[in-house]
Copies of this chain bind each other. A is one copy, B any other.
């Protein structure tokens, strides 16, 4: 079983076929960065068109059992998530609406302060807001998972403690391995995993040691080390693969409509676009490389299997249903 718990590709039949070639049984896709409610609904409509057009390759995944269905029907189950709470605007009632429409993960922040919590790029982290507490409670009730990948440390730790159900960092790596602003410090990973949550490891080059030059061995050793530290059942994949996206999309991710000035995020004026992927992971067909790399650093079959999909499967089964 293979589950990639974060991608934002420029979707096409080519990529859907590559997911089949790479044996990706389920993928959590981002359907909103800065979109408001109506705009995110338009993104669902686009996905519905893809589901209708490519029924032999993909379908809308809503429950863990859909991963089983994907395996038995040789397709990829596509689960929806948001990297920002913008799709609920200022309306807590939209949490349940979104769960009914199939959303399963929602980040409380995307880099900036939101109505709910503080993003990892803010100077001051005020923690979970008044509305944030109400929304976490409602997300817990309906089965929409709190994702803190782009949140600041205090906000993340508070979310892990306040939430009555496990939360996730769907796509980031340990800060100790690669000190990027988006990677997570020990206390943060510990708070999330101690409360039953999971971290999905990212292959976005800005999150990798030596970025695009990161070696497969270094990545896999980091996986094994993190497993030893926090538990083999607390980790999974969240590649953050943004395949075939034009550089205009990374700009949209970074500034949306919140700034008239460009913000380079993890990039720079000299390198504003998407960085090159490491040579051992270019697209969905390369998950075998990771499996081999994990075995090479000493992980056994059951550990590799848990990391490649089994853990997210269990997490889906426990956290997508209503409380």
Contact = CB atoms under 8 A, between A and B. Distances in A.
Interface residues of A, number: 16
Of the listed residues A37, A48, A101, A102, the one surrounded by the most CB atoms of chain B closer than 10 A to its CB is A48
Interface string A30-58: 00000001100110110011000000000
A131 interface: no
A39 B91 CA distance: 12
A93 B48 contact: yes
B97 A44 contact: yes
Contacts of A91: 45
Nearest to A101: B100
Interface of A: 37-38, 41-42, 44-45, 48-49, 91, 93-94, 96-97, 100-102
Contacts of A100: 100-102
A93 B42 CA distance: 8
A93 to B, nearest CB: 3
Contacts of A94: 41, 45
Contacts of A37: 38, 41
9 contacts: A38-B38, A41-B94, A44-B97, A45-B94, A45-B96, A48-B93, A48-B96, A48-B97, A100-B101
Contacts of A38: 37-38
A44 B100 CA distance: 11
A241 B91 CA distance: 31
Given A45-B94, A101-B101, 13 more contacts: A37-B38, A37-B41, A41-B94, A42-B93, A45-B91, A45-B93, A48-B93, A48-B96, A49-B93, A97-B101, A100-B100, A100-B101, A100-B102
Contacts of A45: 91, 93-94, 96-97
A231 to B, nearest CB: 35
